[in-house]
Structure 1
Amino acid sequence: MRFMVFVRSPDPLAALHTDALERGGVLLDAGDLVPHACGVSGYWLIDVRNREEAVERVKRIPLPACVVEIRQVAVV
C-alpha cells in the first residue's frame, strides 16, 4: 500500500530526514514544498504493507517540533 506523509514543521529541512525510509527500502519519492508558509515543508511517498507499518516507520524518524499527516494513496 502506498502512503503520502506530509511533514508540517517551521524548519524547512525537516522533510529531508529520509535516511531511515531509504535504508528500509520503502521510500518511493520525497520532496520539498514551496512556499513553506502554508505549513507543509515536504512530503514522502512510501510503499509499506499497511497503515500500522507506515506509522511505525515514521515514528522512528527524528522530527522534533513536527506534525506529520499520513494518508493512504488511492489505487486507480
Structure 2
Amino acid sequence: MNALHQYLFDTYRAARLGEPAPPEPGAHDVAVLRAVRDRRRFERVLAGRPSRRSFRTALRRALPMTLRTVLDRRPRPRSC
C-alpha cells in the first residue's frame, strides 16, 4: 500500500464518520523541508559555526555543477 491508497482509505473513513478529511499526501512537504533547514541553521549557531555560507563559497560549489550540466547538454558530434 502506498501513500495514495492510505489517503483514500483515510478519506473514506473520515467521510463515513463525519470527520474532516485528512491532508493530501505531500501537502506539507515544503514546510517540513524549511523546518529541517531552520533546525540545521539553529544547531550550527549553537555550535559556534556560521549559519550561512559566504557567497564566494556558494559560488565555488555551484559553478562546477552548473558548468557540468551545461556541457552535458550541448550536442556532441556523431561518429560515422
TM-score normalised by L of structure 2: 0.24
Structure with the higher helix share, 1 or 2: 2
> TM-score by structure 1 length?
0.25
Larger radius of gyration: 2
In proportion to residue count, which structure has more strand? 1
